[in-house]
Amino acid sequence: MDSSQYRTAAKEAIDEIANYYDTLEERPVLPSVKPGYLRPLLPDGPPQDGEAWDKIQADIDRLIMPGLTHWQSPKFMAFFPCNSSFPAMIGDMYSGAFNAAAFNWICSPAITELETIVMDWVCNMIGLPKCFLSTSENGGGGIIQGTASEVIVTAVVAARERLIRRRLADMPEGEEKLDKAADKRGKLVALGSEHAHSSTMKAAIIAGTRFRTVPATKESNYGVTVDALRRTIEECYAKGLEPFYFTATLGSTGTCAIDDLAGIAELAKEYPDIWIHVDAAYAGSALVCPEYQHLCPPIANFDSFNLNLHKWLLVNFDCSAFYVKSRKDLIDTYSITPSYLRNEFTESGLVTDYRDWQIPLGRRFRSLKVWFVLRTYGVSGLRDFIRKHIKLGEYFHELLKSRSDIFSITTEPAFGLVTFQIKPPVPITSKAAADQSDPAHEAYSNDFMPNAEAQYRENSNHRTKEVYEAVNSKGEFFLTSTVVCGTYV
């Protein structure tokens, strides 16, 4: 394909994409294809000779579209969203065009410098403490990584190595130190709420450390309390283990719960060797609104923070903003400089080489799409967007409440997320029960059924699962279920 053919093909593709967006809400959100649908429709291997673009493009409609789940559909209510926008798509287009693996500053100064600047913009925009700015005296800063899971692995491994460095600081380099470090790693424990995203457990597996959950109950609205965290830390020490990392969650995956950030910030002062990371993958975008920024000050006591701009801030996948209070903590772990990566700019100490803040070497030009989105919508446009979603969550909650004969609310709207159950159809066993506002529940709570609570819960879980599966099997809407402390929602 030469540049003139590209001009024609790309313009057609852009028209097709715009049409796709214009007609999105008319499509069922879920495809009806069966597993393995695609293989019989494709040849056994790539063509020997190149094909005409017309033929290739036509296959988007013929082969790909039938197997797509439409994440941008207004009927997509599953998982967390993965918002997109046209300015971000254009950013990705340019990024693909420049196609630079900008791991060192000299590999494309604009790529590094724009990233540092937009990460500072975002830091200020969401009211994150100033210690996370690249210009902070403490040497903080932000980097864009692909996903929250990647960020959390990066933080866990850096936390592990920081602890080992601190514990073995007095030992001379050599075999004995390496052996000691290996012994230590086996005793280290990463912690996360029982409702934290599975990425913390995965990170601990990758880092070769242990992992323990911190209980978070209905009474604390599914957030980790400072007492629960303290207890878990002390239990680890009592067993001869050493907690070295904790993921505090701001917006848990199941219910959008928030751990007690203010309480944990105080506890953090007693345990300066435990790296505390705040995972705000989804809900962090709401911090763009001043009414949520009261959550931010305690974060100054933690080591790192992330939010996925690709979840809820109109930046296309992938784009997870990762902030650290001390970039040295990352560089001390990840900087390895063989001769082929050496250059005068790195040696001058005046530039940022983002390869030293991450696991991969090469990296995409992701800041361009962030820059385009921030400039196209402005802070006020992004606030309006978030507030609209939060209002929709509250509206949905009102609708559920207006049919309390069918639905029971498990968790109130939080950042647009509401979890609920379907009440089971149950026999009414007494007049008193029938008179209650929640007759089904009362019917099971009377003296005739000693296990009434458990039975009711099991029936609610069963009924909710049935309805959930029926909705998704129709394909028009897509919902996600989960289990929160034994309740299927």
Which residues of the chain form contacts with ligand PLP (CB under 6 A)? 80, 147-149, 197, 199, 249, 251, 253, 279, 281-282, 308, 320
Q: How far is the CB of 153 from ligand PLP (least distance, A)?
A: 10
* Residue in the block written with tokens 């904790």: 246
Which residues lie below 8 Å from residue 325, measured CB to CB, with a gap of 6+?
131, 132, 136, 138, 140, 300, 302, 303, 304
- DSSP strand E in 61-178: where? 76-77, 141-145
CB-wise, 253 or 367, nearer to ligand PLP? 253
Q: Are 452 and 427 in contact (CB under 8 A)?
A: no
Q: What are phi and psi of 279, to 5 degrees?
A: -95, 105
Kind of pairing, strands 188-193 and 242-249? parallel
Tokens of 250: 């701001």
**Cis peptide bond N-terminal to 318, omega within 30:** yes
CB-wise, 249 or 408, nearer to ligand PLP? 249
Helix (H, G, I), strand (E, B) or coil at 485: coil
CB-wise, 112 or 249, nearer to ligand PLP? 249
Tokens of 263: 């309480």
Q: How far is the CB of 256 from ligand PLP (least distance, A)?
A: 9
CB-wise, 144 or 443, nearer to ligand PLP? 144
Q: How far is the CB of 27 from ligand PLP (least distance, A)?
A: 24
Q: How far is the CB of 137 from ligand PLP (least distance, A)?
A: 30
Q: How far is the CB of 147 from ligand PLP (least distance, A)?
A: 3
CB-wise, 319 or 443, nearer to ligand PLP? 319
* Residue in the block written with tokens 């970039």: 327
CB-wise, 80 or 371, nearer to ligand PLP? 80
Helix (H, G, I), strand (E, B) or coil at 299: helix
Q: What are phi and psi of 275, to 5 degrees?
A: -75, 125
Q: Are 298 and 265 in contact (CB under 8 A)?
A: yes
CB-wise, 80 or 354, nearer to ligand PLP? 80
Q: How far is the CB of 254 from ligand PLP (least distance, A)?
A: 9
Q: Are 462 and 445 in contact (CB under 8 A)?
A: no
Helix (H, G, I), strand (E, B) or coil at 305: strand
Helix (H, G, I), strand (E, B) or coil at 438: coil
Q: How far is the CB of 480 from ligand PLP (least distance, A)?
A: 10
Instruction: Spell out a b/e string for 116-142, using b for 16 or more CB atoms within 10 Å of the CB, else e.
Output: bebbbbbbebbbbbebbbbebeeebbb
Q: How far is the CB of 258 from ligand PLP (least distance, A)?
A: 11
CB-wise, 199 or 408, nearer to ligand PLP? 199
Helix H or strand E encompassing 392: helix 367-402
**Distance separating alpha carbons of residues 95 and 160, to the nearest angstrom:** 34
Q: How far is the CB of 85 from ligand PLP (least distance, A)?
A: 18
CB-wise, 149 or 232, nearer to ligand PLP? 149
Q: How far is the CB of 288 from ligand PLP (least distance, A)?
A: 17
Q: At what angle do helices 148-167 and 175-185 cross, to 10 degrees?
A: 130
Tokens of 166: 């601190």
**For the chain, what is the radius of gyration of the CA atoms?**
26
CB-wise, 118 or 144, nearer to ligand PLP? 144
